[in-house]
Amino acid sequence: MVEFSLCVVVPVRNDSQYLKSVLTKINCQSLAPKSIIIIDSSTDDAVHELIKYFEGDVSIIYHRMNKAYPGKARNIGVKLASSDWIAFLDSKTLPEDDWLERYHHLIEAYHADAIFGVTMFNAKTYFQKILRSATYGNVGHITVPGTLVKRQVFIDSGGFMEHVRMGEDIEWRERLVNKGLKIYTPDYSIVSYNGLPDNFLSTLKKYVNSAYHTARLNILIKVKDAYLSLILILSAIILPKWNYLITGWDTNPLFIPHVTKIYLISIVFLLMIYKLLHYLFFNNMSQALFSKTLQIILIIFLTLVALNWNAVIADWVEDAVLYIPHITKIYVLSVVLGSLLYRGLYLPLKRKVKQDFIFPLTWIVVGFLGLSLDMVKAPGYIAGSILSLIRIKLPSVEEISN
Protein backbone atom coordinates (compact mmCIF):
# COMPACT_ATOMS: atom_id res chain seq x y z
CA MET A 1 0.00 0.00 0.00
CA VAL A 2 1.31 3.41 -1.01
CA GLU A 3 1.68 5.80 1.92
CA PHE A 4 -0.32 8.93 1.19
CA SER A 5 -1.50 11.29 3.93
CA LEU A 6 -5.03 12.27 2.90
CA CYS A 7 -8.40 12.93 4.51
CA VAL A 8 -11.75 12.99 2.69
CA VAL A 9 -14.10 15.82 3.69
CA VAL A 10 -17.84 15.26 3.14
CA PRO A 11 -20.42 17.91 4.07
CA VAL A 12 -23.91 16.46 4.51
CA ARG A 13 -27.36 17.77 5.27
CA ASN A 14 -30.34 15.39 5.47
CA ASP A 15 -28.90 12.98 2.91
CA SER A 16 -28.38 9.84 4.97
CA GLN A 17 -29.95 7.67 2.24
CA TYR A 18 -27.10 8.62 -0.11
CA LEU A 19 -24.29 8.89 2.44
CA LYS A 20 -24.10 5.16 3.14
CA SER A 21 -23.12 4.53 -0.50
CA VAL A 22 -20.50 7.31 -0.31
CA LEU A 23 -18.92 5.82 2.81
CA THR A 24 -18.89 2.38 1.22
CA LYS A 25 -17.17 3.70 -1.89
CA ILE A 26 -14.50 5.47 0.17
CA ASN A 27 -13.81 2.26 2.06
CA CYS A 28 -13.43 0.43 -1.27
CA GLN A 29 -10.65 2.74 -2.48
CA SER A 30 -7.55 0.95 -3.76
CA LEU A 31 -5.57 3.67 -1.98
CA ALA A 32 -7.16 4.11 1.43
CA PRO A 33 -7.41 7.61 2.97
CA LYS A 34 -6.34 8.35 6.52
CA SER A 35 -9.84 9.30 7.62
CA ILE A 36 -13.27 10.47 6.52
CA ILE A 37 -14.44 13.76 7.99
CA ILE A 38 -18.24 14.17 8.07
CA ILE A 39 -19.59 17.67 8.68
CA ASP A 40 -23.26 17.16 9.51
CA SER A 41 -25.70 20.07 9.54
CA SER A 42 -28.83 17.92 9.27
CA THR A 43 -32.12 18.70 10.95
CA ASP A 44 -32.41 15.16 12.31
CA ASP A 45 -30.15 12.42 13.71
CA ALA A 46 -30.28 10.08 10.72
CA VAL A 47 -26.70 10.78 9.62
CA HIS A 48 -25.37 10.39 13.14
CA GLU A 49 -27.19 7.08 13.56
CA LEU A 50 -25.84 5.84 10.23
CA ILE A 51 -22.26 6.62 11.16
CA LYS A 52 -22.66 5.12 14.62
CA TYR A 53 -23.43 1.71 13.15
CA PHE A 54 -21.46 1.90 9.91
CA GLU A 55 -18.74 -0.74 9.62
CA GLY A 56 -15.65 0.24 7.65
CA ASP A 57 -11.87 0.14 7.84
CA VAL A 58 -11.39 3.91 7.40
CA SER A 59 -11.90 5.91 10.58
CA ILE A 60 -14.65 8.53 10.61
CA ILE A 61 -14.39 11.92 12.29
CA TYR A 62 -17.92 13.19 12.91
CA HIS A 63 -18.70 16.86 13.55
CA ARG A 64 -22.25 18.09 14.18
CA MET A 65 -23.13 21.74 13.74
CA ASN A 66 -26.07 24.02 13.12
CA LYS A 67 -27.18 24.81 9.60
CA ALA A 68 -24.15 25.62 7.45
CA TYR A 69 -23.69 26.20 3.75
CA PRO A 70 -21.37 23.75 1.93
CA GLY A 71 -18.44 26.20 1.85
CA LYS A 72 -18.42 26.68 5.60
CA ALA A 73 -18.83 22.94 6.20
CA ARG A 74 -15.84 22.14 3.97
CA ASN A 75 -13.71 24.79 5.68
CA ILE A 76 -14.45 23.24 9.08
CA GLY A 77 -13.66 19.80 7.69
CA VAL A 78 -10.23 20.95 6.53
CA LYS A 79 -9.51 22.41 9.96
CA LEU A 80 -10.28 19.04 11.52
CA ALA A 81 -8.04 17.17 9.08
CA SER A 82 -4.58 16.00 10.12
CA SER A 83 -3.19 15.18 6.68
CA ASP A 84 -1.05 16.77 3.98
CA TRP A 85 -3.76 16.41 1.36
CA ILE A 86 -7.51 16.98 1.33
CA ALA A 87 -10.07 15.29 -0.90
CA PHE A 88 -13.64 16.53 -1.30
CA LEU A 89 -16.84 14.62 -1.90
CA ASP A 90 -20.49 15.51 -1.47
CA SER A 91 -23.16 13.31 0.04
CA LYS A 92 -24.56 12.43 -3.41
CA THR A 93 -21.28 11.88 -5.28
CA LEU A 94 -19.78 8.42 -5.71
CA PRO A 95 -16.12 8.03 -6.72
CA GLU A 96 -14.60 5.21 -8.74
CA ASP A 97 -12.80 2.60 -6.63
CA ASP A 98 -9.38 3.75 -7.90
CA TRP A 99 -10.12 7.49 -7.57
CA LEU A 100 -7.49 8.28 -4.94
CA GLU A 101 -4.87 6.00 -6.45
CA ARG A 102 -5.24 7.45 -9.94
CA TYR A 103 -5.18 11.01 -8.61
CA HIS A 104 -2.11 10.21 -6.53
CA HIS A 105 -0.33 9.12 -9.72
CA LEU A 106 -1.41 12.36 -11.42
CA ILE A 107 -0.08 14.41 -8.49
CA GLU A 108 3.31 12.74 -8.81
CA ALA A 109 3.38 12.90 -12.60
CA TYR A 110 2.47 16.60 -12.84
CA HIS A 111 3.87 17.77 -9.47
CA ALA A 112 0.43 19.24 -8.94
CA ASP A 113 -0.83 21.39 -6.10
CA ALA A 114 -4.37 20.29 -6.88
CA ILE A 115 -6.23 17.89 -9.15
CA PHE A 116 -9.76 19.00 -9.97
CA GLY A 117 -12.60 16.52 -9.83
CA VAL A 118 -14.60 15.65 -12.95
CA THR A 119 -18.18 14.54 -12.39
CA MET A 120 -20.64 12.69 -14.60
CA PHE A 121 -24.32 13.17 -13.78
CA ASN A 122 -26.36 9.96 -13.60
CA ALA A 123 -30.02 9.69 -14.56
CA LYS A 124 -32.37 6.80 -13.76
CA THR A 125 -35.93 7.98 -14.41
CA TYR A 126 -37.22 9.27 -17.74
CA PHE A 127 -37.53 12.81 -16.37
CA GLN A 128 -33.96 12.75 -15.06
CA LYS A 129 -32.75 11.65 -18.50
CA ILE A 130 -34.63 14.54 -20.09
CA LEU A 131 -33.19 16.94 -17.51
CA ARG A 132 -29.66 15.64 -17.99
CA SER A 133 -30.00 16.00 -21.76
CA ALA A 134 -31.16 19.60 -21.32
CA THR A 135 -28.37 20.50 -18.89
CA TYR A 136 -25.25 18.45 -18.18
CA GLY A 137 -25.35 15.92 -21.00
CA ASN A 138 -23.16 12.82 -21.04
CA VAL A 139 -19.87 14.62 -20.50
CA GLY A 140 -17.83 15.20 -17.37
CA HIS A 141 -17.96 18.55 -15.59
CA ILE A 142 -15.23 20.08 -13.41
CA THR A 143 -16.39 19.99 -9.80
CA VAL A 144 -15.14 20.34 -6.24
CA PRO A 145 -16.37 16.81 -5.45
CA GLY A 146 -13.54 14.55 -6.54
CA THR A 147 -10.94 17.30 -6.11
CA LEU A 148 -7.63 16.70 -4.27
CA VAL A 149 -5.67 19.68 -2.97
CA LYS A 150 -2.70 20.21 -0.69
CA ARG A 151 -3.97 21.20 2.72
CA GLN A 152 -1.55 24.13 2.94
CA VAL A 153 -2.54 25.33 -0.53
CA PHE A 154 -6.17 25.25 0.54
CA ILE A 155 -5.38 27.20 3.71
CA ASP A 156 -3.34 29.77 1.78
CA SER A 157 -6.21 30.21 -0.68
CA GLY A 158 -8.49 31.34 2.14
CA GLY A 159 -10.89 28.43 1.69
CA PHE A 160 -14.46 28.65 0.47
CA MET A 161 -16.77 31.60 0.93
CA GLU A 162 -18.97 30.64 3.87
CA HIS A 163 -22.03 32.87 3.61
CA VAL A 164 -23.30 31.95 0.15
CA ARG A 165 -25.51 29.00 -0.58
CA MET A 166 -24.34 28.21 -4.11
CA GLY A 167 -21.47 29.07 -6.43
CA GLU A 168 -18.74 29.06 -3.80
CA ASP A 169 -17.20 26.01 -5.48
CA ILE A 170 -16.79 27.77 -8.85
CA GLU A 171 -15.44 30.91 -7.19
CA TRP A 172 -12.85 28.88 -5.22
CA ARG A 173 -11.67 26.99 -8.30
CA GLU A 174 -11.26 30.21 -10.25
CA ARG A 175 -9.34 31.73 -7.36
CA LEU A 176 -6.94 28.77 -7.35
CA VAL A 177 -6.41 29.06 -11.11
CA ASN A 178 -5.71 32.79 -10.81
CA LYS A 179 -2.98 32.12 -8.24
CA GLY A 180 -0.92 30.37 -10.91
CA LEU A 181 -0.74 27.09 -9.01
CA LYS A 182 0.07 23.76 -10.64
CA ILE A 183 -3.40 22.41 -11.26
CA TYR A 184 -4.30 19.45 -13.44
CA THR A 185 -7.75 18.45 -14.67
CA PRO A 186 -8.21 14.92 -16.08
CA ASP A 187 -10.09 14.45 -19.35
CA TYR A 188 -12.22 11.67 -17.85
CA SER A 189 -14.85 11.57 -15.12
CA ILE A 190 -13.92 9.97 -11.82
CA VAL A 191 -17.05 10.82 -9.79
CA SER A 192 -20.75 10.30 -10.49
CA TYR A 193 -23.63 12.39 -9.13
CA ASN A 194 -26.90 10.66 -8.26
CA GLY A 195 -29.19 13.39 -6.99
CA LEU A 196 -30.85 15.01 -10.00
CA PRO A 197 -34.42 16.22 -9.30
CA ASP A 198 -37.08 13.75 -10.37
CA ASN A 199 -39.95 16.12 -11.19
CA PHE A 200 -40.58 19.38 -13.01
CA LEU A 201 -41.54 21.61 -10.06
CA SER A 202 -38.55 20.69 -7.89
CA THR A 203 -36.29 21.33 -10.89
CA LEU A 204 -37.73 24.80 -11.46
CA LYS A 205 -37.36 25.61 -7.76
CA LYS A 206 -33.73 24.47 -7.78
CA TYR A 207 -32.84 26.58 -10.81
CA VAL A 208 -34.56 29.71 -9.49
CA ASN A 209 -32.62 29.35 -6.23
CA SER A 210 -29.41 28.71 -8.14
CA ALA A 211 -29.85 31.81 -10.30
CA TYR A 212 -30.68 33.96 -7.26
CA HIS A 213 -27.67 32.88 -5.23
CA THR A 214 -25.33 32.93 -8.24
CA ALA A 215 -26.30 36.53 -8.96
CA ARG A 216 -25.63 37.50 -5.34
CA LEU A 217 -22.26 35.77 -5.40
CA ASN A 218 -21.24 37.38 -8.70
CA ILE A 219 -21.98 40.81 -7.28
CA LEU A 220 -20.30 40.12 -3.94
CA ILE A 221 -17.02 39.04 -5.53
CA LYS A 222 -17.12 41.43 -8.48
CA VAL A 223 -18.23 44.76 -7.09
CA LYS A 224 -16.69 46.71 -9.98
CA ASP A 225 -18.46 44.41 -12.42
CA ALA A 226 -21.73 45.07 -10.59
CA TYR A 227 -21.31 48.83 -10.87
CA LEU A 228 -20.45 48.52 -14.58
CA SER A 229 -23.62 46.50 -15.05
CA LEU A 230 -25.63 49.12 -13.17
CA ILE A 231 -24.18 51.84 -15.42
CA LEU A 232 -25.05 49.74 -18.46
CA ILE A 233 -28.65 49.37 -17.26
CA LEU A 234 -28.94 53.10 -16.65
CA SER A 235 -27.54 53.78 -20.13
CA ALA A 236 -30.19 51.48 -21.62
CA ILE A 237 -32.88 53.50 -19.86
CA ILE A 238 -31.52 56.98 -20.62
CA LEU A 239 -29.67 56.98 -23.95
CA PRO A 240 -32.46 55.69 -26.25
CA LYS A 241 -34.67 58.47 -24.82
CA TRP A 242 -31.90 61.07 -24.96
CA ASN A 243 -33.51 63.29 -27.58
CA TYR A 244 -36.78 63.27 -25.61
CA LEU A 245 -35.03 64.21 -22.39
CA ILE A 246 -33.23 67.23 -23.77
CA THR A 247 -35.28 70.25 -24.75
CA GLY A 248 -35.52 71.70 -28.22
CA TRP A 249 -35.19 68.36 -30.06
CA ASP A 250 -33.07 68.85 -33.22
CA THR A 251 -32.46 72.53 -32.44
CA ASN A 252 -30.54 71.55 -29.31
CA PRO A 253 -26.76 71.20 -29.84
CA LEU A 254 -26.92 67.99 -27.74
CA PHE A 255 -29.35 66.36 -30.19
CA ILE A 256 -28.05 63.01 -31.50
CA PRO A 257 -29.63 61.75 -34.75
CA HIS A 258 -30.61 58.06 -34.73
CA VAL A 259 -29.46 57.72 -31.15
CA THR A 260 -31.42 54.49 -30.53
CA LYS A 261 -29.95 52.80 -33.60
CA ILE A 262 -26.46 53.94 -32.64
CA TYR A 263 -26.93 52.61 -29.11
CA LEU A 264 -28.25 49.25 -30.31
CA ILE A 265 -25.37 48.81 -32.78
CA SER A 266 -22.92 49.77 -30.03
CA ILE A 267 -24.39 47.15 -27.68
CA VAL A 268 -24.09 44.45 -30.35
CA PHE A 269 -20.50 45.48 -31.12
CA LEU A 270 -19.57 45.63 -27.43
CA LEU A 271 -21.02 42.16 -26.80
CA MET A 272 -19.13 40.71 -29.79
CA ILE A 273 -15.83 42.22 -28.61
CA TYR A 274 -16.45 41.04 -25.05
CA LYS A 275 -17.25 37.49 -26.21
CA LEU A 276 -14.16 37.42 -28.43
CA LEU A 277 -11.86 38.54 -25.62
CA HIS A 278 -13.50 36.08 -23.22
CA TYR A 279 -13.03 33.24 -25.71
CA LEU A 280 -9.40 34.11 -26.46
CA PHE A 281 -8.12 34.93 -23.00
CA PHE A 282 -10.65 33.95 -20.31
CA ASN A 283 -12.35 30.83 -21.66
CA ASN A 284 -11.79 28.95 -18.38
CA MET A 285 -13.64 31.55 -16.35
CA SER A 286 -17.37 31.60 -15.63
CA GLN A 287 -19.51 34.08 -17.50
CA ALA A 288 -19.31 37.52 -15.93
CA LEU A 289 -22.25 39.53 -14.64
CA PHE A 290 -21.44 42.33 -17.11
CA SER A 291 -21.70 39.90 -20.04
CA LYS A 292 -25.05 38.58 -18.87
CA THR A 293 -26.35 42.13 -18.44
CA LEU A 294 -25.25 42.93 -21.99
CA GLN A 295 -27.10 39.90 -23.33
CA ILE A 296 -30.30 40.71 -21.46
CA ILE A 297 -30.30 44.32 -22.66
CA LEU A 298 -29.63 43.23 -26.24
CA ILE A 299 -32.52 40.73 -26.13
CA ILE A 300 -34.86 43.40 -24.75
CA PHE A 301 -33.89 45.88 -27.47
CA LEU A 302 -34.19 43.34 -30.28
CA THR A 303 -37.64 42.42 -28.99
CA LEU A 304 -38.67 46.09 -28.93
CA VAL A 305 -37.33 46.53 -32.47
CA ALA A 306 -39.37 43.58 -33.69
CA LEU A 307 -42.54 44.74 -31.94
CA ASN A 308 -42.24 48.30 -33.28
CA TRP A 309 -40.76 47.58 -36.71
CA ASN A 310 -43.80 48.29 -38.85
CA ALA A 311 -44.77 51.34 -36.82
CA VAL A 312 -41.34 52.98 -36.83
CA ILE A 313 -39.73 51.73 -40.04
CA ALA A 314 -42.72 51.31 -42.38
CA ASP A 315 -45.10 53.77 -40.69
CA TRP A 316 -47.80 51.09 -41.01
CA VAL A 317 -47.82 51.47 -44.79
CA GLU A 318 -48.45 47.93 -46.01
CA ASP A 319 -47.12 48.67 -49.49
CA ALA A 320 -43.81 49.91 -48.09
CA VAL A 321 -40.75 47.87 -49.00
CA LEU A 322 -39.72 47.43 -45.36
CA TYR A 323 -43.20 46.52 -44.10
CA ILE A 324 -43.23 42.95 -42.75
CA PRO A 325 -46.66 41.34 -42.24
CA HIS A 326 -47.15 39.49 -38.94
CA ILE A 327 -43.65 40.47 -37.79
CA THR A 328 -44.51 39.95 -34.10
CA LYS A 329 -45.72 36.40 -34.72
CA ILE A 330 -42.72 35.69 -36.94
CA TYR A 331 -40.32 37.03 -34.30
CA VAL A 332 -41.89 35.08 -31.43
CA LEU A 333 -42.04 31.85 -33.42
CA SER A 334 -38.44 32.33 -34.63
CA VAL A 335 -37.20 32.86 -31.08
CA VAL A 336 -39.09 29.82 -29.77
CA LEU A 337 -38.01 27.58 -32.66
CA GLY A 338 -34.40 28.77 -32.50
CA SER A 339 -34.33 28.20 -28.75
CA LEU A 340 -35.82 24.72 -29.11
CA LEU A 341 -33.28 23.75 -31.76
CA TYR A 342 -30.42 25.14 -29.67
CA ARG A 343 -31.55 23.64 -26.35
CA GLY A 344 -33.07 20.47 -27.74
CA LEU A 345 -30.58 19.50 -30.47
CA TYR A 346 -27.36 21.51 -30.57
CA LEU A 347 -26.43 21.47 -26.88
CA PRO A 348 -27.41 17.84 -26.19
CA LEU A 349 -25.51 16.58 -29.24
CA LYS A 350 -22.52 18.72 -28.30
CA ARG A 351 -22.64 17.19 -24.83
CA LYS A 352 -22.73 13.67 -26.29
CA VAL A 353 -26.33 12.78 -25.57
CA LYS A 354 -27.13 9.69 -27.63
CA GLN A 355 -28.98 10.39 -30.85
CA ASP A 356 -31.29 7.43 -30.39
CA PHE A 357 -32.56 9.09 -27.19
CA ILE A 358 -33.35 12.54 -28.55
CA PHE A 359 -34.67 11.40 -31.94
CA PRO A 360 -37.18 11.41 -33.42
CA LEU A 361 -39.23 13.64 -31.09
CA THR A 362 -37.69 13.63 -27.60
CA TRP A 363 -35.53 16.63 -28.54
CA ILE A 364 -38.69 18.77 -28.48
CA VAL A 365 -39.34 17.83 -24.84
CA VAL A 366 -35.66 18.41 -24.03
CA GLY A 367 -35.80 21.78 -25.76
CA PHE A 368 -38.93 22.91 -23.92
CA LEU A 369 -37.43 21.89 -20.58
CA GLY A 370 -34.19 23.75 -21.35
CA LEU A 371 -36.16 26.81 -22.47
CA SER A 372 -38.27 26.66 -19.29
CA LEU A 373 -35.14 26.57 -17.14
CA ASP A 374 -33.72 29.58 -19.00
CA MET A 375 -36.95 31.48 -18.42
CA VAL A 376 -37.21 30.74 -14.69
CA LYS A 377 -33.55 31.56 -14.10
CA ALA A 378 -34.02 35.13 -15.34
CA PRO A 379 -36.33 36.30 -12.48
CA GLY A 380 -34.10 34.64 -9.89
CA TYR A 381 -30.99 36.22 -11.33
CA ILE A 382 -32.60 39.67 -11.54
CA ALA A 383 -33.91 39.44 -7.97
CA GLY A 384 -30.53 38.36 -6.65
CA SER A 385 -28.80 41.15 -8.55
CA ILE A 386 -31.17 43.87 -7.34
CA LEU A 387 -31.04 42.82 -3.70
CA SER A 388 -27.26 42.57 -3.77
CA LEU A 389 -26.84 45.93 -5.49
CA ILE A 390 -29.01 47.52 -2.81
CA ARG A 391 -26.73 46.24 -0.06
CA ILE A 392 -23.36 45.59 -1.69
CA LYS A 393 -20.70 44.48 0.77
CA LEU A 394 -17.22 43.20 0.23
CA PRO A 395 -16.70 39.46 0.75
CA SER A 396 -14.43 37.81 3.24
CA VAL A 397 -11.71 35.29 2.31
CA GLU A 398 -9.10 38.01 2.63
CA GLU A 399 -11.00 40.17 0.13
CA ILE A 400 -10.89 37.26 -2.35
CA SER A 401 -7.12 37.03 -1.90
CA ASN A 402 -6.65 40.63 -3.00
Residue bearing the bigger pLDDT, 368 or 386: 368
- pLDDT of amino acid 218: 59
- pLDDT of amino acid 166: 80
| 42 contacts 73 by C-beta, under 8 angstroms | no
Rounded Cα gap, residues 78 and 162, in angstroms: 13
- pLDDT of amino acid 1: 42
**Does 305 score more than 80 pLDDT?**
no
- pLDDT of amino acid 284: 46
Rounded Cα gap, residues 264 and 69, in angstroms: 41
**Mean pLDDT, to the nearest integer, of 106-118?**
96
Residue 2 pLDDT class (50, 70, 90 cuts): very low
- CA 333, 199, 376, 344 dihedral sign is negative
**Mean pLDDT, to the nearest integer, of 371-383?**
76
Residue bearing the bigger pLDDT, 217 or 322: 322
| 5 contacts 83 by C-beta, under 8 angstroms | yes
- Lowest average pLDDT, out of 169-178, 197-206, 281-290, 299-308, goes to 281-290
- pLDDT of amino acid 10: 97
List beta partners, residue 6. Answer: 85
Residue 344 pLDDT class (50, 70, 90 cuts): very high
Backbone angles phi, psi at 37, to 5 degrees: -110, 115
| 317 contacts: CB under 8 Å, gap ≥ 6 | 323
Per-residue pLDDT tens digits for 122-134: 999 999 999 999 9
Three-class SS of residue 352?
coil
- pLDDT of amino acid 110: 95
Per-residue pLDDT tens digits for 209-251: 887 777 666 555 555 565 566 677 777 777 777 777 777 777 7
- pLDDT of amino acid 271: 76
List beta partners, residue 8. Answer: 36, 87
Rounded Cα gap, residues 178 and 341, in angstroms: 36
DSSP 282: -
Residue bearing the bigger pLDDT, 285 or 186: 186
**Does 346 score more than 90 pLDDT?**
yes
- pLDDT of amino acid 287: 53
Residue bearing the bigger pLDDT, 316 or 37: 37
Q: What average pLDDT does the structure give for the chain?
A: 84
CATH homologous superfamily of domain 6-196? Spore Coat Polysaccharide Biosynthesis Protein SpsA; Chain A (3.90.550.10)
- Lowest average pLDDT, out of 165-179, 205-219, 322-336, goes to 205-219
Q: How far is CA 319 from CA 202, 282, 309, 314, 364, in A?
A: 51, 49, 14, 9, 38
**Does 288 score more than 80 pLDDT?**
no
Rounded Cα gap, residues 268 and 298, in angstroms: 7
Nearest residue to 80 via CA among 9, 21, 154: 9
What percent of the chain stands above pLDDT 90? 48
Rounded Cα gap, residues 188 and 95, in angstroms: 12
- pLDDT of amino acid 397: 46
Instruction: Provide CATH 3.90.550.10 ranges for the chain.
Output: 6-196
Nearest residue to 175 via CA among 85, 69, 71, 76: 71
Nearest residue to 401 via CA among 112, 156, 154: 156
Residue 402 pLDDT class (50, 70, 90 cuts): very low
Q: Which of 101-115, 158-172, 288-302, 311-325 has the highest mean pLDDT?
A: 101-115
Backbone angles phi, psi at 217, to 5 degrees: -65, -45
**Mean pLDDT, to the nearest integer, of 386-390?**
59
Rounded Cα gap, residues 21 and 109, in angstroms: 30
Rounded Cα gap, residues 293 and 296, in angstroms: 5
Per-residue pLDDT tens digits for 19-65: 999 999 999 999 999 999 999 999 899 999 999 999 999 999 999 99
- pLDDT of amino acid 183: 95
